[in-house]
Amino acid sequence: METLRQLPRCAPARMLAALGVALTLLGAAPARAADTPGGAMPEATPELVEQGRAIYFRRCSFCHGLLGDGNGPAAEFMDPRPRDFTLGTFKFRTTQSGELPTDEDLFRTISRGLPGTGMQSFDDARIKNGLSEAERWAVIAYIKTFAPEFDDPEFDPYQTLVALPENMAPYNADSIAKGAAVFERAKCWECHGRQGRGDGQKAFDRKDDWGFPIRIRNLTHPWKIKGGAEVADIYMRFSTGINGTPMPSFVKALDADERWYLANFIKSLQHQLTGHQVLKALAVEGAVPEAPDDAAWAEAEPMDVRLTGQVVAAPRWQNPSIELVTLKAAFNDTEIAFLLEWDDPFEDLTHNDAAVLDTTELSRVGGYNSYVAANDMVTRQLETFRDAVALQFPVRLPEGTVKPHFMRGAASTPVQLWTWKADLEAGGGRSVEEAIARGWRQTPQVRPDDQSQVSAQAVWDQGRWRVVMKRPLTTGERNDVQFRPGVFIPLAVNAWDGSNGEHGLIMSLSTWYFVLLEAPVPVRVYLLTVLAFLLTGAFALWLVRRAERENREPGGPET
Amino acid sequence: MRKPRIGRFWSVALTLAIIYAAVKWGIPAASREITGLPFPLPVPGTLIFIYMLLAVIALFLLVTFSDENLAEFMHPIKKLLRGGYGRIARAVVMTSIPFLAAWQVYQIVVPKVALPPSLRIQHPSSNFPKSFEALKNPFANPTEAEIAAFVEQAEADQVEFIPQVMSDIEVWIDETGPDHMLEFFPAGPMDAFLAQLEAGAVDDATARAALLEKNLFEGRALYAMNCRPCHGDSAAGDGPMADGFKLRPINFTDAGTLETIVEGYTFWRVTNGGPGLPTEATPWDSAMPEWKLSLTEEERWKIILAEYDLAEKTPRIPESH
């Protein structure tokens, strides 16, 4: 009753609350995506073009060139190269294959950027010093002056729009299964591989319209999907084709529903990164798994290690092929084994020392550049350099938080490298080299085979290497990492894709992660727990007994 | 009408629960309101322990203040022990006590698996050489002689640029056939300079501004070639290489970075990179190269000039000593 009577007095408060709720709802309403413009492109007046030129000069020209020909000073070190605007060939559009992009397409690319390339977001909602919507339109007005096709009404892109399908099937097991059938029938696997790892093409004959080699996209790495990793983005790619590349449009071969199912299937191939930084080694009874396909590996918890191009020291490399290595580990009383899995579309089993890059000029102070050019500097072909992978550990386990530098340590803080090499594996001998590195300036010191204790087994299948490296937990060697339960042991990964021209310091690398061999819980813990239980239990029992006794005594419980 | 009393024991228990809730969840919730940050500020475990200890002492004093208080407090406990609430209730409470105690002891003594902490000082100064403190960017402050040399080159239409940008400029000259090679600069200080050059009367301020434009242009090109792969083309620390590093490249557009340090500090960091950091800044996790091994001093200063400009920041002014 009391509360009811109070209601009228609370009315202003209730109104305020309702207002608050309404405001919250307004705020939570889906905001317009910042890569979609608020309106149509303003008219390209000379003033707008001049404003765009000033922005282009400051923000775009160093990659795309003063003339928009994709030949700025930074261009030759990147793969994919910056766009050449002069031909009017644009990859990511919502128009039919071979057509120009719409203004909104250009707006989307500038706003979002192209993941996995040097082209990044310029949206001022994401980047503090990014470009406002008006500024983005000004740049687009200027970019369009590079290709005369934009002025020709015959090439009006708005006549060739490709729309999203009307009734879009939800992303679920059914639409994914239907998409898998389309993937098979449309022969997507011929280039992208059965598992979508970009390993379908068995030869290196793919080139873009400019004659630069093209790598088939690995569809399982969403952070590298340039046109966007969402279902609608993927749908657009095979509905519009990617101009200037071998990727065709399937708009005639497949109907809209089929393409939508296919996009759902492609989305389902995307790998979800694990996110943790500690590799928990699985404790096993009996022998540790030695073969990559041993069923015991299924029980070990995977840890994804992100790698990136080696840009710490010359020769720097910003076009790495291997950006993800997934690790597992298993151990018993005497040995530990690591399973390393990574995607590599080509199996490179040979190594030609004569093709190794002379890095003297790149390593000079004041040289032209310390980065390796994307093309023509190293051979990025089959049968030139080997595939390889290395696990790196500190020689001495860190005291406190101090670690060796993640790139090969330093003179006073050496690291140990276990480097597996595909050419050694193919040769049938010992395929792992143990080496000590004291900084990247010196070549790691390789230990003679007869003193090495790491062994390996490897398999390459459908665009994926799976390598197991195994060693006793502890060795008598002073310069070996020693694996002890309960200790966080830093670990890093280096990787080389031979047909991507990678060798020496031209490689991918990770920063430090950890491996942990979980120690069994000490007996002391159980003893103390049981002791606590018994003591408190006995005390509780004593209290109850005493109370019972008082109950029975005359003049017992007070009421 | 008398208020229903819940009894001394339950009021003590309730008070403890309320204090615990206030410290554990109330303070963090209030902290969000006060700081406006998107995350709460938790109360450290030791502080919670101290608060709870104080609360227990205060309540102990209250309960033991008089015999009546103590008796009232003890009443429900005694009643429970004697079976006044039923034998089942007593059995449940008395058996849960040893289980709770055992669980607590286990939690305390079981070895914890936790990542070693990684504390990092972002702008360490323990090994920052004082001689760098007052360094000025020579390309932001050109000498009279440098300005005169630039004007002379411009008059001859033969301005010297770093080799890295020359091929792009040459292609531009070949394609557009300009009256002057510096016309590739968009509207701004360079226009004014070219106009004065044509009129044959160049003033010092205009020439200085034009030279700064030229230096910025070269610095931006060097930034795009050397720094962009990690720090990104908007200097936002989001370059295509950035995701592979646990210690992400610094976002220069962030207010806590370039603006809080003097130019000499930026130069020192670019020069010595990760390996030049002291231990408290975890040099082993830093991918920042020792650029002194690849870039000349001039190149490093030009990059720093462009970096501040691109990030739309100004360096901290050194304090005078």
- Point out which residues pair with A434 in neighbouring strands: A418
Same domain, B146 and B104: no
Task: Flag whether B120 is in a domain.
Answer: no
Instruction: Look over chain A and give the mean of its residue pLDDT values, rounded to a whole number.
Output: 90
C-alpha separations of B155 from B63, B152, B206 in Å: 95, 5, 14
The amino acid at residue A128 is: K
Each residue of B180-231: pLDDT tens digit?
999 999 988 999 999 999 999 999 999 999 999 999 999 999 999 999 999 9
Task: Flag whether B124 is in a domain.
Answer: no
Pairwise CA distance, residues B238 & B224, whole Å? 13
Q: pLDDT exceeding 90 applies to what percent of chain B?
A: 69
Are A452 and A432 in contact by the 8 Å Cβ rule? The answer is yes
Same domain, B100 and B167: no
Give the number of A-B residue pairs with CB atoms closer than 8 Å.
242
User: B196 CB contacts (<8 Å, ≥6 apart)?
Assistant: B202, B203, B206, B207
Task: Flag whether B295 is in a domain.
Answer: yes
Q: Which residues of chain A does B113 touch, with a Cβ-Cβ cutoff of 8 Å?
A: 486, 516, 518
Predicted confidence at residue B293, as pLDDT, reads: 97
Task: Flag whether B320 is in a domain.
Answer: no
Same domain, B20 and B154: no
Predicted confidence at residue B3, as pLDDT, reads: 59
Predicted confidence at residue B321, as pLDDT, reads: 53
Pairwise CA distance, residues B291 & B296, whole Å? 8
Query: Which conformational region is residue A348 in: left (phi greater than 0), alpha (psi within -120 to 50 degrees), or beta?
Result: beta
> From A515, which residue of chain B is nearest by alpha-carbon distance?
B115
Tally of domains in chain B: 2
Interface-testing mutation among A308, A361, A362, A509, with chain B (most B C-beta atoms within 10 A): A308
Continuous segment of H or E residues that includes residue B153:
helix B144-155
CB contact under 8 A, A532 and B104: yes
Asked if residue A390 has pLDDT above 70, the reply is yes
> From A398, which residue of chain B is nearest by alpha-carbon distance?
B116
Task: Flag whether B119 is in a domain.
Answer: no
Pairwise CA distance, residues A308 & B230, whole Å? 10
> pLDDT tier at A280 (50, 70, 90 boundaries)?
very high
Interface-testing mutation among B75, B77, B85, B105, with chain A (most A C-beta atoms within 10 A): B105
| Long-range own/partner contacts, residues A541-550 (CB < 8 A, 24 or more apart) | A541/B94, A543/B81, A543/B94, A544/B81, A544/B90, A544/B94, A546/B81, A547/B78, A547/B81, A547/B82, A547/B83, A548/B82, A548/B83, A550/B82
Continuous segment of H or E residues that includes residue A491:
strand A488-496
Same domain, B102 and B139: no
User: Is the torsion defined by CA of B201, B204, B210, B215 positive or negative?
Assistant: positive
The C-alpha angle with vertex B317 and arms to B313 and B318, in degrees rounded to 5, equals 140
Burial bucket for residue B236 (CB in 10 Å: 0-12, 13-18, 19+) = buried
Pairwise CA distance, residues B190 & B195, whole Å? 9
Interface residue A26 vs chain B (CB under 8 A): no
Same domain, B235 and B304: yes
Predicted confidence at residue A26, as pLDDT, reads: 42
Point out the domain boundary residue: B42, B75, B109: B109
Predicted confidence at residue A556, as pLDDT, reads: 53
What is the ipTM for the molecules in this complex? 0.88
Q: In degrees to the nearest 10, what's the CA dihedral of A231, A234, A236, A237?
A: 180
Range with lowest mean pLDDT among A171-185, A403-417, B29-43: B29-43
CB contact under 8 A, A511 and B95: no
Same domain, B178 and B293: yes
Same domain, B46 and B151: no
Each residue of B137-149: pLDDT tens digit?
999 999 999 999 9
Predicted confidence at residue B221, as pLDDT, reads: 98
Q: Residues 423 to 482 of A: which have CB under 8 A from any B CB?
A: none
Same domain, B150 and B231: yes
Same domain, B208 and B89: no
Asked if residue A72 has pLDDT above 90, the reply is yes
User: A439 CB contacts (<8 Å, ≥6 apart)?
Assistant: A405, A408, A409, A410, A411
Same domain, B233 and B194: yes
Same domain, B103 and B137: no
- Point out which residues pair with A435 in neighbouring strands: A417, A446
Task: Flag whether B38 is in a domain.
Answer: yes
Pairwise CA distance, residues A133 & A107, whole Å? 9
Helix (H) and strand (E) counts in chain B: 13, 0
Range with lowest mean pLDDT among A325-334, A549-558, B15-24, B186-195: A549-558
Interface residue A273 vs chain B (CB under 8 A): no
Of A278, A525, A536, the CB nearest to B106: A525
Of A118, A130, A522, the CB nearest to B240: A118
Of A318, A367, A511, the CB nearest to B245: A511
> pLDDT tier at A401 (50, 70, 90 boundaries)?
confident
CB contact under 8 A, A306 and B243: yes
Are A308 and A320 in contact by the 8 Å Cβ rule? The answer is yes
Helices B45-63 and B8-21 sit at what angle, rounded to 10 degrees? 160
User: A12 CB contacts (<8 Å, ≥6 apart)?
Assistant: none
CB contact under 8 A, B229 and A311: yes
Task: Flag whether B116 is in a domain.
Answer: no
CB contact under 8 A, A278 and B115: yes
CB contact under 8 A, A308 and B94: no
Pairwise CA distance, residues A421 & A419, whole Å? 6
Predicted confidence at residue A203, as pLDDT, reads: 65
Q: Which residues of chain A does B308 touch, with a Cβ-Cβ cutoff of 8 Å?
A: none
Each residue of B243-256: pLDDT tens digit?
999 899 999 998 88
Backbone angles phi, psi at A334, to 5 degrees: -120, -25
Residues of the domain holding B292:
130-311
Q: Which residues of chain A does B120 touch, with a Cβ-Cβ cutoff of 8 Å?
A: none
Range with lowest mean pLDDT among A434-438, A539-543, B6-10, B309-313: B6-10
Q: Which of B154, B168, B123 lies closest to B258, judged by CA? A: B123
pTM of structure: 0.84
Each residue of B79-98: pLDDT tens digit?
888 888 888 999 999 999 99
Same domain, B143 and B79: no
Pairwise CA distance, residues B269 & B30, whole Å? 39
Predicted confidence at residue A553, as pLDDT, reads: 78
Joined tokens for residue B24: 């554990």
Report whether the peptide linkage leading into residue A315 is cis, meaning its omega lies within 30 degrees of zero.
Answer: yes
Predicted confidence at residue B192, as pLDDT, reads: 95
CB contact under 8 A, B244 and A543: no
The amino acid at residue A414 is: P
Predicted confidence at residue A555, as pLDDT, reads: 60
